[in-house]
């Protein structure tokens, strides 16, 4: 009788549950009481992306081999730091997902110790995105904001609402 399954006895008084059914206190279906996971509640930004882009100032980063120290004088780090590699400017920007923040990139050359004590030069692409926490608008708000931007573009004489080529 290999390969035949045994069937359960026909009984309407079932006192046990099947193995794949979730336990419940009152016998109701667990799917009926399913709760959606709570949304993360973090800080909420109060600016719109348009306001942010108009008012935010650029950020500047110094890339260095030297660990930071607290200095009393106001001499730029690039002049006094022997391990200074590059400076990167981050421009205020609105990202494709609707959130906003700063972004910037720079290509630089870094020397590393190679074989036989020779210095090897490697090319590095440094890209930084600094997103403002809570700046991503809800799904409905992004569509409304996009529509408002299209109207603003048409009022400025741009038919399709697109930005100038040089703004990128």
Over the stretch 14-70, which tens digit does the pLDDT of each residue have?
A: 666 666 766 666 655 555 555 666 666 677 878 888 999 999 999 999 888 877 666
Q: What order of strands is seen across the sheet that includes strand 100-113?
A: 59-64, 84-94, 100-113, 119-131
Percent of the chain with pLDDT over 90: 28
pLDDT value of residue 84: 83
The model's confidence at residue 139, banded by pLDDT at 50, 70 and 90, is confident
Q: What is the number of other CB atoms lying within 10 angstroms of the CB of residue 77?
A: 15
For range 131-140, the mean pLDDT: 86
92 or 138, higher pLDDT: 92
- Secondary element (H or E) of residue 147: helix 139-155
The model's confidence at residue 143, banded by pLDDT at 50, 70 and 90, is low
**pTM for the predicted model, two decimal places:** 0.54
Average pLDDT, the chain: 74
């Amino acid at each position: 009788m290999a390969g035949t399954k045994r069937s359960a006895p026909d009984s309407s008084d079932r006192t046990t549950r099947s193995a794949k059914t979730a336990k419940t206190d009152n016998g109701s279906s667990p799917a009926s009481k399913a709760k959606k996971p709570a949304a993360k509640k973090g800080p909420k930004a109060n600016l719109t992306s348009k306001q942010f882009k108009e008012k935010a100032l650029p950020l500047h980063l110094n890339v260095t081999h030297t660990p930071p120290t607290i200095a009393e004088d106001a001499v730029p780090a690039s002049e006094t730091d022997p391990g200074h590699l590059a400076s990167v400017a981050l421009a205020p920007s609105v990202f494709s997902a609707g959130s906003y923040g700063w972004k910037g990139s720079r290509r630089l050359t870094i020397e590393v110790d190679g074989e036989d004590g020779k210095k090897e030069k490697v090319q590095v692409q440094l890209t930084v995105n600094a997103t403002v926490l809570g700046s991503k608008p809800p799904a409905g708000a992004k569509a409304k904001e996009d529509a408002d931007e299209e109207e603003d573009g048409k009022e400025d004489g741009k038919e399709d609402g697109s930005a100038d080529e040089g703004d990128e």
